[in-house]
Amino acid sequence: MAGPFSARDFIDLGLAIKATIDQASDNQEQLKSLAQDLYDEIHFLCKIDLERITSSESGKNLKRDLTALKSDLIDYHERCNKYIIRPEQNDRLASVKFALLGWKRRNDIHQEIITIKEKVNVCFRHFMVARFVDMGQGVNDNITRRINEALSDHSVAAGLVGTNRMNPRVINTALASARNELKKLSSTHSFENNYLLFKVKTIKDTLLSSSSSRPISFRGSIIAYSDMNDSDDAMEDAVLDSLRLIRTFSNKEGLSTQSTAENLYRLALTLGDLDLREDACAASELGAMVCRDLARKDADRYTPFLADALDQYSVLLTQLLDGDVRRALGISEEAVKLYRELTLKDPRKFKPRLASSLINLSSVMLVLRRHEDRLNILVESVKSLRLLTSTDPDQFNPRLARALNNLADSLATVKGRGKEALSTAKEAVDIAEALADNDPNGFNPLLATCLFTQSKCLDSLNCHDDAVSSIGMAISIRRDLTKRNPSRYRPLLSEALFSLSVSHSAQGDHLRALGAIEEALKIDRTFSYTSSVPRQTLGLHLAQLASCFNKLDHRNDALKVMEETVKIRRELVMSNPKEFRPDLAVSLHNLSVNLYKLRRFEEARKIIREAVESVVHFLTPLLRTRAPSNTLCWKSRWRTR
């Protein structure tokens, strides 16, 4: 019996088999190449199994297949050892026998490798089939849930059907198309039939209302080029497109094909349009697996597909609440590496893709707070996009605006480069304004983002009046966008209102600052808090609310808010101490100060002790050199009080 297995078991077996075949093959390059292929496939399967374990998938069938495969590999390794014939020195008969058996031995080894490679591929196919089934079920369940939500909310319905991305002419075309689709369906009780009836009703409601508008681009956050199909016609209805793409994966034999890779890429985009980000990420991950399998077999043809799939997957993984950002970084770096290699071979085709992939990489680095690396990446991206824009401004100006916006945001974090950051932000705003003038619905989201960054740069230079003006324009745009697509734009509106509150506070206008942050928190409290990301935002916004109350001398109101902030940040520390302990220490310090000013000295002393303990965990070296005298001073101060 093979017994339990681990990735190390398979890697060791693969290496042992490869070494044995190399020794038994009499330096036959074909056999050595096959042995290397077998090892690569075993290694690839181990990576897939590791991803299954990391993502907490059950994968019982894969586990069973791998257990059986381990047994086959052990048997195969033993047979390979028998193929090695070592004639004794000066034994002519054994030498003749060794020579005569050479051809038969090589043929047997070749057949054995082919057999075992097929068993490895069977494991891969079984795993992929299971993933496709799980993904398809998840997509169907989530689309059904979204439709149920949309029945009572026209804005959600418009986002689901896509009418909020259509002008009146396209809306009428979509209505006629939906009616034709209904006529073609054989069953009047199918999921598609019910959805199409819902779609027709939603389009009629939209036509009757006065809120019809031109299309909005919701793909700005993913900057991607691709050889894979992505036509606007095919993407007209994200729900139907998703359901039909899911059905294309029913062919269990043709999983690792170009068609499958293209369909998964498109499926990830359509699911992203429906704000089903977890499902979009799952589809993109499967697409990357398929492309990696294809690229192993034909690198020249499929490496561009793999780079596109990895680039898309890294962005979607980063956008997930509580997504594995460090894993996204590795995937994004691999995509950039592939694009660099492809650019050397064909600069004209792949230089734009490299520039966009660099921007995506910089976004991952921002989440991980690798500011210096991010700045270097963005400088390279902007330089490349300036050259591309000079030859084709219509195509590359939107990407240049995004890159300049990100560069300004990065420069603003570097001491002494505030003016350079503001100049860069203004250039991004100028480009975005020109784009929005020609296509308001298409580029207003980009303009709002650039105005938001410009306001932060102005604040950092103490130009608070100009910062308030800039963020005010961004808020106006985002209010309009939120009406059309609440789930996507409410978090961005809340972020802008928080920034406005900070700017008003810097001006000394604490009443307006209070009004802005209260509106932001009203939005925040509508979010789901199953993830650490919105809870972290809530904690930040509550801290600003407490600050506003304090500056207006509303100490008791501030105290209640501070206690809620501390409670949230304690919960966050339980899930990720390294990430959230500094924020908790700051909140505890502020709470202790407020308690002290309310003459609640004993409670304040307990809180400040907890704050010091929290600081010690992440600043131990600094505390050893500087903190002892300060700590003693705090203690003696509390005793005298």
Q: What is the pLDDT of residue 249?
A: 66
- DSSP-derived 3-state class of residue 167: coil
Q: What is the pLDDT of residue 276?
A: 81
Query: Token pair for residue 37?
Result: 């292929």
Q: What is the pLDDT of residue 456?
A: 94
Q: Indicate whether this model's pTM tops 0.85.
A: no
Rounded to 10 degrees, the C-alpha dihedral 516/517/519/522 comes to: 180
CA proximity to 294, closest of 586, 602, 564, 44: 44
Look up residue 146 and give its amino acid. Answer: R
The better pLDDT of the pair 198, 306 is held by 306
pLDDT tens-digit map of 139-172: 778 877 777 777 777 766 776 777 766 666 677 7
Q: What is the pLDDT of residue 634?
A: 33
pLDDT tens-digit map of 44-60: 666 666 555 544 454 55
* CA distance linking residue 239 with residue 249, whole number of Å: 16
Q: Which sequence spans correspond to the domains of the chain?
A: 7-139, 539-627
- DSSP-derived 3-state class of residue 505: helix
* CA distance linking residue 613 with residue 609, whole number of Å: 6
Look up residue 47 and give its amino acid. Answer: K
Residue 321, pLDDT > 70, answer no
Q: Write the secondary structure of 535-554 as one string of H (helix), E (strand) and C (coil).
A: HHHHHHHHHHHHHHHHHCCC
* CA distance linking residue 93 with residue 25, whole number of Å: 21
The answer to whether 113 and 31 are in contact (CB under 8 A) is yes
Residue 377, pLDDT > 70, answer yes
Q: What is the pLDDT of residue 72?
A: 73
Burial of 111 (0-12, 13-18, 19+ CB in 10 A): exposed
CA proximity to 451, closest of 462, 459, 441: 459
* CA distance linking residue 232 with residue 50, whole number of Å: 37
pLDDT tens-digit map of 60-110: 566 676 677 777 777 776 766 665 555 454 455 445 444 444 555 666 666
pLDDT tens-digit map of 584-594: 889 999 999 99
Output the CATH code of domain 539-627: 1.25.40.10
545 Cβ contact partners less than 8 Å away, ≥ 6 residues apart: 514, 517, 518, 521, 561
Q: What is the pLDDT of residue 497?
A: 96
| DSSP structure string for 569-588 | HHHHHHH-HHHHHHHHHHHH
Residue 256, pLDDT > 90, answer no
* CA distance linking residue 171 with residue 2, whole number of Å: 61
- DSSP-derived 3-state class of residue 234: coil
Say which range, 290-304, 408-422, 609-623, has the weakest mean pLDDT: 609-623
Helix, strand, coil share of the chain (percent; to 5): 80, 0, 20
Tell me the pLDDT of the chain averaged across its residues. Answer: 78
The answer to whether 129 and 252 are in contact (CB under 8 A) is yes
DSSP state of 165: G
For the residues 538-550, what does the mean pLDDT come to? 94
571 Cβ contact partners less than 8 Å away, ≥ 6 residues apart: 535
Q: What is the pLDDT of residue 639?
A: 33
525 Cβ contact partners less than 8 Å away, ≥ 6 residues apart: 538
Query: Token pair for residue 162?
Result: 């896509």
Angstrom CA distances, 159 to 138, 206, 218, 272, stand at 20, 11, 11, 12
